């Protein structure tokens, strides 16, 4: 049965629209591409570093205190990321505010530490972090693109280190903009629509896999039936050959006796 490739996993296992993890922060920061980019990079790096370190130490961490240890590891990397952003990208730090600190309690990072990193080797843990981190980034950019378009009339992206604008594209005039898309209500609406789209894609994939599995079972059953019929036919042929050989032997004995 076909398994999803790396890129399909970003959609089928999307932490936001399929698993509904880390929703609060996304609703708060996806009002602009700048915030979405910053949060995506921070979550991806923290997730990758924490997964790798926890996987490396998984055999040394007592099972009874594993959750507090995971939180300490995650909080350490979040603190490092926060200090780096504050030092080298102060504009981004001011825009995102407390959302950077809230990465510590992001369900995605702690959930992957418990579900994957604590049970897998470093390579698998790093791959899982990339899938979840990039999936989270896709979700954030999808929401920010929609909310920025309808709420601000277009998109803009700035250099997080210098604050210089990289590009700006305005499409909708102010008279056609829907300001509520930059508010909480617009975030929930955008999230619901995209979650429905992603869920529909996943349901189609699951249905296709179920149908593929059903076809494989049918093929396996037909193959087993054919093998049984072939074995039965071979047995009948063998018995018939024995009967013919016995008959030929009896005929030879009769002819010899008559002679």
- pLDDT for residue 92: 84
Check residue 172 and report its DSSP letter. Answer: S
Burial class from Cβ neighbours inside 10 Å (0-12, 13-18, 19+) for residue 177 reads middle
Contact 156, 145 (CB under 8 A): no
Query: Is the pLDDT reported for residue 144 higher than 90?
Result: yes
Q: Is residue 226 predicted with pLDDT exceeding 70?
A: yes
Read off the tokens for 205: 């994939």
Asked if residues 108 and 132 have their Cβ atoms less than 8 Å apart, the reply is yes
Paired tokens of 140? 């954030």
d(CA 17, CA 38): 20
175 pLDDT more than 90: no
**Nearest 5°: phi and psi at 257?**
-65, -40
pLDDT tens per residue, range 61-113: 898 898 999 999 999 999 999 999 888 888 888 888 778 888 888 888 988 89
Position 145 scores a pLDDT of 93
Confidence band of 135 (pLDDT split at 50, 70, 90): very high
Identify whether the C-beta of residue 199 lies closer than 8 Å to the C-beta of residue 151.
no
In the chain, the percentage of residues whose pLDDT exceeds 90 is 32
């Amino acid at each position: 049965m076909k398994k999803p490739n790396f890129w399909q996993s970003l959609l089928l296992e999307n932490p936001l629209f399929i698993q509904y993890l880390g929703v609060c922060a996304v609703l708060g920061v996806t009002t602009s591409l700048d915030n979405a980019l910053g949060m995506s990079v921070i979550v991806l790096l923290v997730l990758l570093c924490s997964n790798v370190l926890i996987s490396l130490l998984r055999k040394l961490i007592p099972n009874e205190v594993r959750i507090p240890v995971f939180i300490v590891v995650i909080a350490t990397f979040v603190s490092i990321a926060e200090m780096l952003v504050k030092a080298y990208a102060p504009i981004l730090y001011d825009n995102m505010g407390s959302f950077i600190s809230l990465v510590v309690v992001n369900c995605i990072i702690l959930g992957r530490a418990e579900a994957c990193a604590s049970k897998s080797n470093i390579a698998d843990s790093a791959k899982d972090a990339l899938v979840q981190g990039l999936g989270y980034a896709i979700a954030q950019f999808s929401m920010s693109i929609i909310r920025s378009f309808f709420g601000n009339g277009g998109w803009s992206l700035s250099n997080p280190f210098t604050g210089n604008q990289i590009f700006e594209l305005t499409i909708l005039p102010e008279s056609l903009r829907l300001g509520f898309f930059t508010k909480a209500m617009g975030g929930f609406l955008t999230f619901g629509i995209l979650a429905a789209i992603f869920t529909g894609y996943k349901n189609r994939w699951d249905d296709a896999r179920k149908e593929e599995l059903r076809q494989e079972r049918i093929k396996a059953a037909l193959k087993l039936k054919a093998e049984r019929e072939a074995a039965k036919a071979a047995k009948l042929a063998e018995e018939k050959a024995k009967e013919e050989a016995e008959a030929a032997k009896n005929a030879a004995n009769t002819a010899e006796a008559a002679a």
